[in-house]
Structure formats: C-alpha cells, structure tokens
Structure 1
C-alpha cells in the first residue's frame, strides 16, 4: 500500500452497505452484503479523479484487514477484489470455503 494511504481509515457504512475510503474529499467504496460472519464483496468503485493512484487497491486491502479483524470471511464476487486476492494469495486465508470460485484463487 502506498505511504499516503496508510494513515487513512476505511469506514464500514452499514446504512448504505459499503466500505468507504475518503481520499482528497472523494469517496471510493466497495458494496457489500453481510450474511452472519460472511461478507460478500460485490462491487468496487473509485472516482475518476483518483484514477491511477492506487486508491482501489488500498481500499481493498484495508477492507480485507477489517474483515479479518472482525473474524469474518469474505466472498470476493467483485472482479477487482477477486483479482487482488489471486495476486496476493495470503489473503485466501479469509475467503469463505463456500465461495464458488474458491479453487480459482
């Protein structure tokens, strides 16, 4: 993760069902669905003004850290999150075994 993002927090917005990450006044987010201790990550979106800065990657990493800290598992349906976990296989440790593409990670 880039140094500029380390001190920034991800917020779990339970009203809008999304993890939010505010950078320079812009909000990047991951939509989620919570089912007990399982978190379905559905869609990641980062404003065009933040493109190319690694914001989505930092958001994904911080979201996975939050999920792990709360002893939950993840179902990475979002293609960006799936690709991130595939590229960083240590995160497979929190992927729920019921995830349909688990064996492709």
Structure 2
C-alpha cells in the first residue's frame, strides 16, 4: 500500500466489514458481533491485485485500533487474522480469551 487509502467500516448491526478499495478492486475483512463487547473476525479476502502490499494486515490493524477505542475484544476465527494476532503480541490487550 504505497499510497495510503482509507479503510472504511461498514457496520450493519450484528455484522460488519472493513473494506479497502483501489483501482477497481476491493479487499474486505468481515466480522460478526457478539453482544456489545466482542467481535469475531470470520473472513479476510484480498484480491491478487493487492497481494504483497500489506492490505490484509492493514485491515486487521484497523479492527484492532477500533477495538481499543471502543473497549471491544476480538476473536480471530479467520486463519489470516489469527496468524496476524500470533505475530503481533502487542495486540493481546484486545484478544478475546
């Protein structure tokens, strides 16, 4: 992501997604809410056009930042998101146990 483009949050009540759009392509990370205190990241999809640019990591990072601000915990069921949480110990404060 050499050019910084905003990641948008689409909140649809019990579900939502973080989206990155550029050059006619869209990457997304979807989640479900568990009450008001937890979200479950269930899917991350990054098209080939964005591979190797850190887009997936940026999506998870944005969710972590938002979770910290709102006091929400994250349960990363998506294999990609779970791998990012294992790599980033500094995110343990928002990891649901």
| TM-score of Structure 1 vs Structure 2, range by shorter chain | 0.7 to 0.9
Partners of 1:64 and 1:26 in 2: CA distance: 23
Cα distance, 1:25 vs structure 2: 3.5
Q: Name the structure 1 match of 2:77.
A: 77
Aligned-partner Cα distance in 2 for 1:68–1:24: 30
TM-score by structure 1 length? 0.78
Structure having the larger proportion of residues in strand:
2
- After the TM superposition, which residues 79-98 of structure 1 pair with which residues of structure 2 at under 5 Å, given as runs? 79-97=79-97
- In structure 2, what is the equivalent of residue 42 of structure 1? 42
Q: Which segment is superposed worse, 88-97 or 8-17?
A: 8-17
Can you give the 5+ residue segments of structure 2 that lack an aligned partner in the other structure?
none
For normalisation by structure 2, the TM-score amounts to 0.83
Residue 74 of structure 1 and its aligned partner are, at CA, apart by 0.3
Confirm or deny: 8 A CA contact 1:74 1:94 kept in the other structure. yes
